[in-house]
Structure 1
């Protein structure tokens, strides 16, 4: 049995606040990635009255061996009431910043882009002062679908790179390192006012040099925000942890990322992609961008991105 080091232990949540948030979610029939993916920060986030909403789920069409979201169930048809129910939850919870993510829906022609669009617009109508972050799948490289999401004007477009190029086939077999980089580059080119964000996990066998290479590649596509956190094995059937990375190493990556020009690097053992995501509001005040009304007409060639380390 692998024993977690001291720096990975979290306080037990306050049941009263957690219960209050769960009551709202159950009342409106909503899912959160906090629960579905067994996030270690669920207690802290629910105690703070925040949550990362999981739409179009909870069944996923991919079977990534690190992820605890269910892929064995058949995805259900989209719920037309979901956008309004989500907006109502944001209103009831009085959220200043909301994160909306989804399972992979490769069964849908647009990967679920239209549902993201409807959710963003519903939240804007119900809670105009709330900043909106969407954490999206790779949409199978369908950039017309990406344009649908961007046209709804999210404040932050987040897509997780997850791991280094060398480990992609083992960690994310249905994904592509190149495709994830291109999604971030397409977002920057089409909607330069949107803040771009990504996250990676460590502890799966990567080296320090490989992590820094990912950071270099992300800056080459002008990614704004990066999160780096420790991978934790959800169960024995998932990928095992190769190493528990010490906090000092996370600090070193944070310093390196800031030297590259990221607007923000959040790196610690317990960091997750949407952990303390509300801090982006302060970032937007420091580095303001004027929101556009029309997407840029752009078509980037496949050769536009040439990461130094190819997938293997």
Structure 2
């Protein structure tokens, strides 16, 4: 089977990948403890900048997801292995040794587990908070099929920032995401998080470059603000592989267009907006948290 040809990258997306002894050391520590840093495994070009600022992103609940979203590089399995009971302690030790002032936790979906992994996520948050209480912790959540109990369990563990990604505009959502996910479901999760934690910074993200229009982007931003989202990231979708599983890039959004969308979002009242070709959900997360405090989101 012939793979579709990859679309050539524009000049503004051609940057060297992070490397060097620091990257190798942290990757080795995480592999030794069975941890996944999204920064290193995805070869994120922002890695050096974020780690240098004392921020890193970890993916917990294992490296296999029960869903098959067509934008995501994470491998899928209907019933992945059980989460490691050592993960909370290993995570807390690693965050401490990396001397992180800000850590981001993101998760795979675990529809196969009775609580969808919420108890394990809460244990990870609590372990980090016990080991290094000064480290601020952001948690990027799955949708938990819209159920409220998992959200309450995780919020009770004490994360400082909560988030759930809308991912894309409404028209494209059903094509890009697993059938168990959805645009309106994600909005309901964000609204529930705002009700359950009215004073915590609430974050979401959109990928651009999947064929969305300016009007659709504006509508999605308005929907996010209506749910009470304070912190926003906008970034370029990049196809993980050239296989049919992953959606092709419809277009490469220019840096100037990202600036325009950022201005639109700020005009709607978002407390902090990160918008650019290489921006990802956790990009400059500590800066976004600080800005939310300055703008009065967190009391």
Please tell me the TM-score bracket, short chain as reference: over 0.9
Matched, 1:253 2:258: no
Q: Which runs of 5+ in 1 are unaligned?
A: 291-312
Per the TM alignment, residue 44 of structure 1 is displaced from its structure 2 partner at its CA by: 4.2
Other-structure match for 1:165 = 170
Other-structure match for 2:231 = 225
Count of residues in correspondence between the two structures: 290
> Alignment partner for residue 98 of structure 2, among 93, 99, 106?
93
Per the TM alignment, residue 105 of structure 1 is displaced from its structure 2 partner at its CA by: 0.5
Other structure's SS at 1:51 match = strand
For residues 44 and 68 of structure 2, the distance between their equivalents in structure 1, rounded to whole angstroms, comes to: 18
> Alignment partner for residue 107 of structure 1, among 76, 92, 112?
112
Moved more, 208-217 or 272-281: 272-281
For residues 36 and 141 of structure 1, the distance between their equivalents in structure 2, rounded to whole angstroms, comes to: 29
For residues 13 and 143 of structure 1, the distance between their equivalents in structure 2, rounded to whole angstroms, comes to: 39
Other-structure match for 1:276 = 284
Matched, 1:289 2:298: yes
> Alignment partner for residue 145 of structure 1, among 150, 158, 167?
150
TM-score of the pair, normalised by structure 2: 0.92
The structure-2 alpha-carbon separation of the partners of 1:216 and 1:200, relative to structure 1 and needing over 3 Å to count, comes to same
Q: Which runs of 5+ in 2 are unaligned?
A: 1-5
Alignment of 1:1-312 (within 5 A): 1-37=6-42, 39-46=44-51, 50-72=55-77, 74-174=79-179, 175-237=181-243, 238-286=246-294, 287=296, 289-290=298-299
Other structure's SS at 1:104 match = coil
Deviations, residues 188-221 of structure 1 (Å, cap 9, x unaligned) = 1111121100001010010011001000001111
CA contact (8 A) 1:18 1:47 kept: no
Per the TM alignment, residue 35 of structure 1 is displaced from its structure 2 partner at its CA by: 4.2
Other structure's SS at 1:133 match = strand
For residues 253 and 134 of structure 2, the distance between their equivalents in structure 1, rounded to whole angstroms, comes to: 38
For residues 86 and 269 of structure 1, the distance between their equivalents in structure 2, rounded to whole angstroms, comes to: 30
CA contact (8 A) 1:25 1:89 kept: yes
CA contact (8 A) 1:60 1:105 kept: yes
Other structure's SS at 1:53 match = strand
Per the TM alignment, residue 142 of structure 1 is displaced from its structure 2 partner at its CA by: 1.0
Deviations, residues 159-203 of structure 1 (Å, cap 9, x unaligned) = 110000001110013211111111111111111121100001010
Deviations, residues 234-283 of structure 1 (Å, cap 9, x unaligned) = 11111100000111111111111111110011110110001121213422
Runs of 4+ aligned residues of structure 1 deviating over 6 Å after TM superposition are none
Other structure's SS at 1:140 match = helix
